[in-house]
Amino acid sequence: MLVMAMRSLASATISFGLVSIPVKLFTSYESSTYIHFNQINKKDGARVKQQLVSAKTGEPVAREDIVKGYEFTKGQYVLFSNEELETLEQKATQTIDIAEFVPADKVDRIYLDRVYYLGPDKGGTRAYRLLARALYDTGRAALARYAARGKQYLVLVRPQDDGLIMEQLRYASEIRPFSEVKIDDASVNKDELKLAVQLIQQAKSDEFQPEKYKDEVRERMLELIQRKVEGEDISVTVAEEPEHKIIDMMEALKASLAAGKRDAGVKHKPARRVTKKAPATGKSARKS
């Protein structure tokens, strides 16, 4: 099977002190796995295009008559030309400017927005590997600023395997406090807690193995889409949703533990041995 090399999204330079490391950015995920549907006119089978209209008159607006505006009060906008917008936007330096080195395990996952792979660009391999090894040996990650696409991003450069990845972070001002989530008071029963811990121990794994899981919904959708392409009727009967009855917590935990034990027994049940009968000999053979 031919494996296509990843195409870089952009070039950048990691900068700390007097050290500069040219790198390339790569996306860490495959967006083509998403299933997209288009809006179609069912009368003629053609795609439907969206039209830009005025919210005041309902009349279509030509693209050359559209400018960007900022709503400074309800229903009132200050308008900006393209030249003015360029003045507002952060100049793209394409530099990943390291500010400090923090413990890699001290950055809360709630700040994570998206992840990019970093690869060395021409002439930067030696310095790239040096930084990756130094971060790995110290258990640190590089907190940096990265200006691109008219914005300034907070990023974290950390070691991954033999190289580096860049995690785009959210700013503290973008994170809503968990204290806004209302949680009513409730006591934790010791016996229920003991069973809950047993349930966790029963299903625990020592390693994260994402390859064990797949998008079953996507696979089902693709199968049904293919059947539709082939002219089949894919109408299905909607199953009734099960009632969510309030049950006793202890009984629910006990039933979950029992079910887990049954599943484990099926997985590890030894294969049944089949004993072959020896071929008949002597008198028995002659009688047959």
- Going from N- to C-terminal start, the domains of the chain cover 10-29+90-173
pLDDT number for residue 52: 87
Above 60 in pLDDT, residue 8?
A: yes
Q: Which fold has domain 10-29+90-173?
A: Ku70; Chain: A; Domain 2 (2.40.290)
Determine the average pLDDT of the residues in 43-71.
87
Over residues 105-135, the pLDDT tens digits come to 999 999 999 999 999 999 999 999 999 999 9
pLDDT band, very low/low/confident/very high, at 13 (cuts 50, 70, 90): very high
Q: Which residue has the higher pLDDT, 165 or 41?
A: 165
pLDDT number for residue 27: 87
CA atoms lying within 13 Å on the CB side of residue 174: 9
Over residues 196-242, the pLDDT tens digits come to 998 888 888 888 787 887 878 878 888 888 887 888 887 766 666 65
Highest averaged pLDDT of the listed ranges 83-92, 100-109, 192-201: 100-109
- pTM of the entire structure? 0.67
Torsion of CA 104, 110, 114, 115, to 10 degrees: 20
CA atoms lying within 13 Å on the CB side of residue 25: 20
Stretch among 99-103, 118-122, 278-282 having the lowest mean pLDDT: 278-282
